[in-house]
């Protein structure tokens, strides 16, 4: 019999992930802070819940996909949280991107009630969530990971066990460092080409086929040229992840100069009130500095 799964957080990522679990045949109970996500999934066969506590009481495994560290703490350990409805043997899989240190603190709090926790952040954006092709990096007990592997296989294509509690979140922050700096490199190349009078689409065709290719170059650069700044991943969320990376690096006395720079450039875009745009809008900060618009 398939595990009964609870899913908390039905945003851009959570909604298609919960939908893929339903398609895989899992009984799914859902909760979200706003009602539309619950109603949409309920029409597709999910059971609506009244609170995280209610989700915990009705599930073998509870997945959270929310915004930041305080949000996960609240739904896991807060009043009417998962811990109040859960029982020994319940597994909480947090697939948000949050602080590794906070992850370990939540895991310790849940363990006091016999509840296991895996941190399993994802990469692949909304497209990966919809297609079920996410990259999933997992921290926690290996035995718990092995038990939950079939669930991960319904959500992603690349599933990597990274180590003890917090390891998944640390690897996700590595991912975000690379993503952000590749985005900056893409923006700089486009602005440089535009200022030099080069056909930017031809530049992308040439560079994208060689050693400089990246996901950002192939996927975000065309959106920049089309002036399409709709979010697959919002700048505000990217900034949260970069802040987490910089905080964790500071705790370990690790310098991240490139990450610090791109964090500040995103801040310049946020200062224009554009934090809800997609991360491809980073190009706007470079355009302003160079006095050119890329098309």
Mind telling me the catalytic residues? Answer: 172
- 264: how many CB neighbours lie within 10 A of its CB? 11
HEC letters along the chain: CCCCEEEECCCCCHHHHHHHHHHCCCCEEEECCCHHHHHHHHHCCCEECCCHHHHHHCCCEEEECCCCHHHHHHHHHCCCCHHHHCCCCCEEEECCCCCHHHHHHHHHHHHCCCCEEEECCEECHHHHHHHCCEEEEEECCHHHHHHHHHHHHCCEEEEEEEECCCHHHHHHHHHHHHHHHHHHHHHHHHHHHHHCCCCHHHHHHHHCCCCCCCHHHHHHHHHHHCCCCCCCCEHHHHHHHHHHHHHHHHHCCCCCHHHHHHHHHHHHHHCCCCCCCEHHHHHHHHHHHHCCCCC
What is the C-alpha to C-alpha distance for residues 164 and 118, in angstroms, rounded to an integer? 9
Contact 100, 248 (CB under 8 A): yes
């Amino acid at each position: 019999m398939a595990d009964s799964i609870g899913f908390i957080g039905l945003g851009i990522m959570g909604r298609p992930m919960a939908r893929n679990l339903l398609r895989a045949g899992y009984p799914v109970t859902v909760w979200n802070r706003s009602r539309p996500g619950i109603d949409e999934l309920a029409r597709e066969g999910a059971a609506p819940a009244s609170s995280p506590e209610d989700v915990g009481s009705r599930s073998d495994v509870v997945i959270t996909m929310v915004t930041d560290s305080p949000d996960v703490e609240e739904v896991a350990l807060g009043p009417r949280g998962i811990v109040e409805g859960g029982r020994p043997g319940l597994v909480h899989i947090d697939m948000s991107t949050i602080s590794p240190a906070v992850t370990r603190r939540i895991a310790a709090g849940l363990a006091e009630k016999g509840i296991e926790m895996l941190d399993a952040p994802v990469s692949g954006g909304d497209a990966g969530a919809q297609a079920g092709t996410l990259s999933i990096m997992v921290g926690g007990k290996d035995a718990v990971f092995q038990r939950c592997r079939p669930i991960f296989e319904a959500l992603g294509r690349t599933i990597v066990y990274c180590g003890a509690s917090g390891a998944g979140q640390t690897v996700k922050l590595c991912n975000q460092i690379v993503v952000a700096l590749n985005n900056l490199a893409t923006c700089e190349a486009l602005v440089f080409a535009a200022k030099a009078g080069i056909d930017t689409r031809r530049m992308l065709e040439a560079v994208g086929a060689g050693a400089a290719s990246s996901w950002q170059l192939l996927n975000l650069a065309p959106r920049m040229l089309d002036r399409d700044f709709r979010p697959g991943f919002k700048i505000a969320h990217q900034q949260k992840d970069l802040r987490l990376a910089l905080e964790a690096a500071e705790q370990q006395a690790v310098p991240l100069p490139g990450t610090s720079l791109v964090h500040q450039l995103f801040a310049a875009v946020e200062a224009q009130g554009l934090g809800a745009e997609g991360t491809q809008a980073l190009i706007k900060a470079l355009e302003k500095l160079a006095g050119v618009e890329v098309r």
